[in-house]
């Protein structure tokens, strides 16, 4: 199994090849396609935490609303 080259080493090789091709009159090599990163599926724990936060936020908002109403009523 070949060891993975560093990005820098790969780039050096590409540039060396390009310079060689320039002087030999060969057409430039086709560009390698960029690899897309695989998307990770959201973990169920993360989803549950997010849902819990959402519920907590709604409850807090409702409590604030009730407190505001009570404050307004007390001022009258």
> CB–CB of 18/29 below 8 Å?
yes
**CA-to-CA dists, residue 9 to 1, 14, 24, 53, angstroms:** 18, 9, 23, 46
Residue 42: the pLDDT is 65
pLDDT digits (tens, 9 = 90+) for 17-39: 989 988 888 887 777 778 788 77
Average pLDDT over residues 54-75: 91
The residue ranges of every structural domain in the chain are 43-76
pLDDT at residue 37, rounded to an integer: 80
- Whole-prediction pTM value? 0.36
């Amino acid at each position: 199994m070949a060891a993975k080259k560093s990005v820098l080493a790969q780039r050096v090789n590409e540039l060396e090849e390009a310079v060689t091709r320039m002087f030999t009159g060969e057409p430039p090599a086709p560009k390698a396609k960029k690899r897309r990163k695989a998307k990770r599926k959201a973990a169920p724990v993360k989803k549950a935490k997010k849902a819990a936060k959402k519920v907590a936020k709604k409850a807090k908002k409702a409590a604030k609303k009730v407190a505001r109403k009570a404050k307004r009523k007390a001022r009258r």
